[in-house]
């Protein structure tokens, strides 16, 4: 039997570098997408606050923006997504004193709402699912659980749809409910990757 001419330790180190680089790029893309969506939402809200608060104006503005942005950048800027961006901003608004913060300063300014969002390992799709959760406490619970347990978007959606938060709150056997939910989430993750 011929010995492998390549050092397996070298192979592992190279794999690690490539994997780390891919993860870094993925996080940067995710960060950029979330910040971009939040900023678009902020601009829409700021435009509405200049005295253009009528539903008629809002509908026209969203349609106008969607038509033009979709032509230039594709379907990610349809009317429903622009409304999501607006809602996303409203969930994480900034204080007036912070309106002029540059993107480069987000990592050093712990008061900026985007800093907290970026500290999480959640994608825009995670946040889109969380936008559907009206109860602030439930949304915060799902946000923390998804981040802590590294839920995929399918796992998060399953937990939201199965009213996991409500079952935890109303149960006297919280640990049993959590164990059952974690088991089902692990099964879902297994099937996603196999």
DSSP code at position 172: S
Classify residue 158: in a domain, yes or no: yes
Residue where one domain finishes, among candidates 55, 80, 96: 96
Residue 9 lies in a domain: yes
- Give burial (CB, 10 Å; 0-12/13-18/19+) of 17: exposed
Q: Are residues 2 and 92 in the same domain?
A: yes
Which range marks the domain in which residue 73 is found?
1-96
Query: Which parts of the chain have pLDDT scores under 50?
Result: 95-104
Three-state DSSP at 151 gives coil
Q: Are residues 26 and 77 in the same domain?
A: yes
Residue 168 lies in a domain: yes
Nearest to 82 by CA among 59, 111, 114: 59
One domain for residues 22 and 79: yes
Is there a single domain that holds both residue 92 and residue 125? no
- How much is the pLDDT for 162? 92
- The last residue of a domain, from among 33, 64, 96: 96
DSSP symbols for 40-102: HHHHHHHHHTTT---HHHHHHHHHHHHHHHHHHH-GGGSHHHHHHHHHHHHHS---GGGTT--
The answer to whether position 104 is within a domain reads no
Q: Which residues contact 44 (CB under 8 A, 6 or more apart)?
A: 61, 62, 65, 82, 85, 86, 89
Mean pLDDT estimate for the chain: 81
Supply the pLDDT for residue 86: 92
In a domain, 103, yes or no: no
In a domain, 101, yes or no: no
How far is residue 49's CA from residue 185's CA, in Å, rounded to a whole number?
42
Name the domain boundary from 96, 111, 138: 96
How confident is the model at residue 96, as a pLDDT?
41
Domain count of the chain? Answer: 2
CA distance 10 to 38: 42
Question: Rounded to 5 degrees, what angle do the CA atoms 97, 65, 116 make?
Answer: 35
Q: Which DSSP symbol is given to 163?
A: T
Asked if residue 106 is part of any domain, the answer here is no
Tens digit of pLDDT for each residue in 24-72?
Answer: 898 888 888 988 998 899 889 888 877 665 666 677 889 999 999 999 9
């Amino acid at each position: 039997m011929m010995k492998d001419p390549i050092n397996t330790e070298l192979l592992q180190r190279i794999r690690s570098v490539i994997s780390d680089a891919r993860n870094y790029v993925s996080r940067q893309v995710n960060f950029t997408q979330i910040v971009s969506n939040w900023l678009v939402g902020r601009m829409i809200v700021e435009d509405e606050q200049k005295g253009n608060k009528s539903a008629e104006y809002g509908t026209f503005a969203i349609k106008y923006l969607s038509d033009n942005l979709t032509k230039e950048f594709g379907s990610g800027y349809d009317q429903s997504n622009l409304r999501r961006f607006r809602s996303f901003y409203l969930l994480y608004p900034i204080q007036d004193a912070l309106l002029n913060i540059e993107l480069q300063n987000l990592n050093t300014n712990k008061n900026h709402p985007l800093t907290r969002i970026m500290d999480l390992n959640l994608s825009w799709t995670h946040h889109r699912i969380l936008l559907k959760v009206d109860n602030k406490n439930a949304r915060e619970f799902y946000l923390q659980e998804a981040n802590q347990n590294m839920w995929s978007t399918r796992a998060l959606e399953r937990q939201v749809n199965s009213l996991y938060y409500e079952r935890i709150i109303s149960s006297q056997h919280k640990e049993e409910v959590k164990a059952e939910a974690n088991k089902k989430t692990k099964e879902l993750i297994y099937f996603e990757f196999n």
